[in-house]
A = this chain, B = another copy of it.
């Protein structure tokens, strides 16, 4: 047991070393993530989300890992190990849940890793101590369950199934990957200065390295198979980054290169596309199969590419990202058009109602895009990350942080059911991959705000934060004030500056409807460079202030005509937010199934405080309500319907990320337009 009894040092300096995806100095990246103290969220929506995550969501995870049996599985594995050969249930212990239950523990540990370094938490460190104590117990269990040769997987150890016998489905390396990521997170934040933190990190890293060493010993240079669910690739690359052990990177590269030769086997007849095993990754032109698997693999692909200087590999990933963004991505940034096999669909198959948009896919896309942002320094990746954050990802969590979406559609009709499920958020899932994944991302959010390139600090996301970046001439330290997504005003005050000139670069968001930049009150150009940033290069002094006013005027957006499923519709955006109509906000007679907007009616914004939602900005506009077809009526006719013939009604849109916090009634992002002939 680690000594966690001493009170956390409330005023201890945050000495974070690095966040997720931290390339080695030799990696071929255009940007470097912040190292050292880095960034911290201090106010605004992202800060509030991070706090809610710690105060409401993480405690729920700790409880659920007990209730759902994840920890019992590990206890059973430990008991079996203690009792004998370590594998095969001779104790009568029963395994609970799907084969990848361990990964929920690991994602939670990763979240805890980031949290432990953040701040000691309120009430004299109670929350810090609760998290650290859980980590201490869980790590203790892992130590007890891990076999002598380093193997660790509670499902295999309890069930007695042969190791690596059905890698297409067993998720053994997927779980190992999440364990490794948790260990890397804990190791990168170990010097928080909090008592016991460094020891915890050391213990977890030891477990993870023994697992990784076992994988190297078993798979390096072999063609024994690939895990059906990618994740180990990026995890091994990160472990290489954290430990310097080249064998981990080599194995990650091997797994990336082995993909596409049928080594992954088959998962319940879902085929090779499902497992990204149809074509070598370098020959793959479009994302296909299971969306989360595909994008977890991409994270590993980029990690391997930048660490090995493999430009063609990186370029293949960029090409697939471009294809995905142009042809397989929803307005919310989400991916995965099919419930069947939780998969990407064909190009331009983007049904709003049947959108799968798994929360984990949004997280995977966020992780992949961050890696491409570092690799290339291009703002388009930060654009997508912001879109994901405030929409596809943001919507996955209820206002109270206690319920989660697994699937994130852009439309819900009356009486919606998927099997027997009405499609509302759940507290937990029998396949609970999403909630702890949400938690690890929110706990590490500050690492994605900024990066550096040479003598320039690039700010990608605007929110209340402090940012501290080591540039060539010294440290540049900023205090950023912003109320995004509600307002477009951002202030960055220089608290400390290096000697001589250096650059401060602001991403000009693609959504800004008009940008004004001032430096110490003086207007400056707001034209971004070819990478999408406005770079202000000068001799900065403490007290300098840059203000940006990004235009967040609400606007109508329209789909390309090639997208069949939302033809003839428009959606509302404001700043980085996608909006939606929820039945809860409409007058009784304005049934969402029978509304249409005439032309592009004016959008009237107002601040509001809605029950179940809290503070928000709603948008009022005008619509027409037409009548439903008569019951029993054949719904295909010799003349087009005339939705413009109905009654005018005022309707109200709310941010998509805030939907489903009232009742379970319909929602739609895409609003039909009255055909112009009948306006």
User: A: which residues have CB within 8 A of B?
Assistant: 269-274, 278, 286, 288, 322-323, 325-327, 329, 331, 338-341, 345-349, 351-354, 411, 413-421, 430, 510, 555-571, 593-594, 596, 626, 628-643, 670, 672, 675-677
In the assembled complex, which residues on chain B have CB atoms less than 8 Å from the CB atom of A642? 561
Identify which of B558, B593, B632 contacts A323 (C-beta below 8 A). B632
In the assembled complex, which residues on chain B have CB atoms less than 8 Å from the CB atom of A420? 271-274, 278
Q: A558-B638, A564-B670 are in contact. List 8 more A-B contacts (CB 8 A).
A: A274-B419, A286-B415, A340-B419, A347-B413, A557-B636, A562-B628, A567-B569, A676-B676
Q: Given A272-B420, A273-B417, A413-B348, A636–B322 Cβ distance below 8 Å?
A: no
A635 touches B327 (CB 8 A): yes
Identify which of B271, B327, B418, B557 contacts A637 (C-beta below 8 A). B557
A558 touches B349 (CB 8 A): no
Closest 4 CB pairs of A and B: A271-B420, A568-B568, A322-B632, A676-B677
The minimal Cβ–Cβ distance linking A15 to chain B, given in whole angstroms, is: 40
In the assembled complex, the Cα of A450 lies from the Cα of B626 at a distance in Å of: 41
Identical subunits present: 2
In the assembled complex, which residues on chain B have CB atoms less than 8 Å from the CB atom of A272? 420
In the assembled complex, which residues on chain B have CB atoms less than 8 Å from the CB atom of A341? 419
In the assembled complex, which residues on chain B have CB atoms less than 8 Å from the CB atom of A626? 561
In the assembled complex, which residues on chain B have CB atoms less than 8 Å from the CB atom of A564? 352-353, 411, 565-566, 670, 672
Q: Given A323-B631, A636-B571, A641–B561 Cβ distance below 8 Å?
A: yes
The minimal Cβ–Cβ distance linking A345 to chain B, given in whole angstroms, is: 8
A596 touches B561 (CB 8 A): yes
Q: Given A346-B415, A349-B354, A353-B564, A558–B636 Cβ distance below 8 Å?
A: yes
Main secondary structure of the interface of A (DSSP, over half): loop
In the assembled complex, 30 residue pairs joining A and B whose CB atoms fall closer than 8 Å, in A order, are A272-B420, A273-B417, A274-B419, A286-B415, A326-B632, A327-B635, A331-B636, A338-B354, A341-B419, A346-B416, A347-B413, A348-B413, A349-B353, A351-B353, A353-B564, A555-B638, A557-B636, A557-B638, A558-B636, A558-B639, A559-B637, A560-B635, A560-B641, A561-B641, A561-B643, A562-B593, A564-B672, A567-B568, A568-B675, A675-B676
Max chain B CB contacts within 10 Å: which of A329, A510, A632? Answer: A632
In the assembled complex, which residues on chain B have CB atoms less than 8 Å from the CB atom of A596? 561
In the assembled complex, the Cα of A386 lies from the Cα of B269 at a distance in Å of: 36
In the assembled complex, the Cα of A329 lies from the Cα of B632 at a distance in Å of: 11
In the assembled complex, which residues on chain B have CB atoms less than 8 Å from the CB atom of A349? 353-354, 413
A354 touches B351 (CB 8 A): yes
In the assembled complex, the Cα of A557 lies from the Cα of B555 at a distance in Å of: 33
Identify which of B288, B339, B559, B675 contacts A338 (C-beta below 8 A). B339
A414 touches B672 (CB 8 A): no
In the assembled complex, the Cα of A142 lies from the Cα of B626 at a distance in Å of: 59
Q: Given A331-B636, A340-B339, A675-B676, A347–B558 Cβ distance below 8 Å?
A: no
Max chain B CB contacts within 10 Å: which of A419, A571, A596, A641? Answer: A419
B326 touches A631 (CB 8 A): yes
In the assembled complex, which residues on chain B have CB atoms less than 8 Å from the CB atom of A670? 564
In the assembled complex, the Cα of A626 lies from the Cα of B274 at a distance in Å of: 33
In the assembled complex, the Cα of A643 lies from the Cα of B323 at a distance in Å of: 22
A634 touches B325 (CB 8 A): yes
In the assembled complex, the Cα of A631 lies from the Cα of B286 at a distance in Å of: 12
Max chain B CB contacts within 10 Å: which of A323, A418, A556? Answer: A418
In the assembled complex, the Cα of A419 lies from the Cα of B268 at a distance in Å of: 11
In the assembled complex, the Cα of A567 lies from the Cα of B633 at a distance in Å of: 18
The minimal Cβ–Cβ distance linking A132 to chain B, given in whole angstroms, is: 37
In the assembled complex, the Cα of A427 lies from the Cα of B316 at a distance in Å of: 37
The minimal Cβ–Cβ distance linking A263 to chain B, given in whole angstroms, is: 16
A672 touches B567 (CB 8 A): yes
In the assembled complex, which residues on chain B have CB atoms less than 8 Å from the CB atom of A561? 594, 596, 626, 641-643, 672
In the assembled complex, the Cα of A322 lies from the Cα of B632 at a distance in Å of: 4
Shortest Cβ distance from A411 into B: residue = B564
In the assembled complex, which residues on chain B have CB atoms less than 8 Å from the CB atom of A629? 326, 560, 562
The minimal Cβ–Cβ distance linking A546 to chain B, given in whole angstroms, is: 27
The minimal Cβ–Cβ distance linking A54 to chain B, given in whole angstroms, is: 33
Shortest Cβ distance from A417 into B: residue = B273
B640 touches A415 (CB 8 A): no
In the assembled complex, the Cα of A64 lies from the Cα of B670 at a distance in Å of: 47
Identify which of B270, B559, B631, B637 contacts A635 (C-beta below 8 A). B559
In the assembled complex, the Cα of A419 lies from the Cα of B277 at a distance in Å of: 12
In the assembled complex, the Cα of A559 lies from the Cα of B636 at a distance in Å of: 4
In the assembled complex, which residues on chain B have CB atoms less than 8 Å from the CB atom of A563? 635
Identify which of B274, B351, B418, B510 contacts A340 (C-beta below 8 A). B418
In the assembled complex, the Cα of A476 lies from the Cα of B84 at a distance in Å of: 86
The minimal Cβ–Cβ distance linking A558 to chain B, given in whole angstroms, is: 4
In the assembled complex, which residues on chain B have CB atoms less than 8 Å from the CB atom of A347? 413-415
In the assembled complex, which residues on chain B have CB atoms less than 8 Å from the CB atom of A417? 273, 288, 346
The minimal Cβ–Cβ distance linking A109 to chain B, given in whole angstroms, is: 29
B569 touches A633 (CB 8 A): no
In the assembled complex, which residues on chain B have CB atoms less than 8 Å from the CB atom of A634? 325-326, 510
In the assembled complex, the Cα of A414 lies from the Cα of B562 at a distance in Å of: 12
In the assembled complex, which residues on chain B have CB atoms less than 8 Å from the CB atom of A418? 340
Shortest Cβ distance from A330 into B: residue = B636
In the assembled complex, which residues on chain B have CB atoms less than 8 Å from the CB atom of A569? 567
In the assembled complex, which residues on chain B have CB atoms less than 8 Å from the CB atom of A411? 564
In the assembled complex, which residues on chain B have CB atoms less than 8 Å from the CB atom of A352? 564
A419 touches B675 (CB 8 A): no
